[in-house]
Amino acid sequence: MSTSRQEFGAGPLPRVANVVMWFLVVEGLLVLTLAPGLALALVLTPDATNLPLFALAALPVGPALAAAFFTWRRFHEERDTSPAQHFARGYRINLGDSLRVWVPAVVVLLVLTMNLASQDATGIGRPVAVLYAVMSVVVLVLALRMLAITATFAFRWRDVARITVLSLGARPLPTLGLLSYVVLVVGLTVVTFDAVVVMLASLLTYGVLRNELSVLGMVRRRFVAP
């Protein structure tokens, strides 16, 4: 550890300032990387015919989340003073893999949402609508865990999918924790505004990554060669 880093973290106030700086920088970078999708979503009217465009606006979310997870993992490992550097590196190296996870999830969510939006026209019953809603939540839980694994390990997509499904039962408490975060985000979006979720993005991504640490530890022990 360098002398300047020791001096920076020598007392409680500098350490608190360092933590606050991490959250502010990650929040700003999340907003920046989400900006194209946010700009598109702002000009769209909440109509079922615009659902494909809303899905397009959601595509930047995957790489942004993967970069945030990568950054928060480094925060737990070393907590230095360069969160922007970690975020940029995490975004760059995980861009392709995160899109391979996120794009199929968005497509499935789009199909489910369109079916829900057209339930009056198609005549699907309430039980089927509830089933679609539950399936949407499950897709989000799976996608978040896959993104956390993708941001940490260099596995093939099908291996990430298999490990994710295996981890659901092997680590039930983190799975329930991840489910609670999905429900929280959906609830905040419905009850308040999308902007509230964006303003809390750094806190939420930190919470998700912290929730997933035991899962990532299990993956490292079981599937990564020493």
Give the confidence band of 125 by pLDDT, cuts at 50, 70, 90. Answer: confident
% of the chain residues with pLDDT over 70: 92
Amino acid at 195: A
The Cα–Cα gap between 142 and 102 comes to 10
What's the pLDDT tens digit per position in 24-41?
A: 999 999 999 999 999 999
Q: What domain count does the chain have?
A: 1
Q: Report pTM.
A: 0.90
3-state helix, strand, coil in the chain (%, to 5): 85, 0, 15
Give the confidence band of 10 by pLDDT, cuts at 50, 70, 90. Answer: low
Question: What Rg, from alpha-carbon coordinates, does the chain have?
Answer: 19
The residue segments making up the domain with residue 31 are 3-223
Q: Is the distance from CB of 98 to CB of 150 less than 8 angstroms?
A: yes
Please report the pLDDT score of residue 102 as a whole number: 97
What's the pLDDT tens digit per position in 44-97?
A: 988 888 999 999 999 999 999 999 999 999 998 876 778 999 999 999 999 999
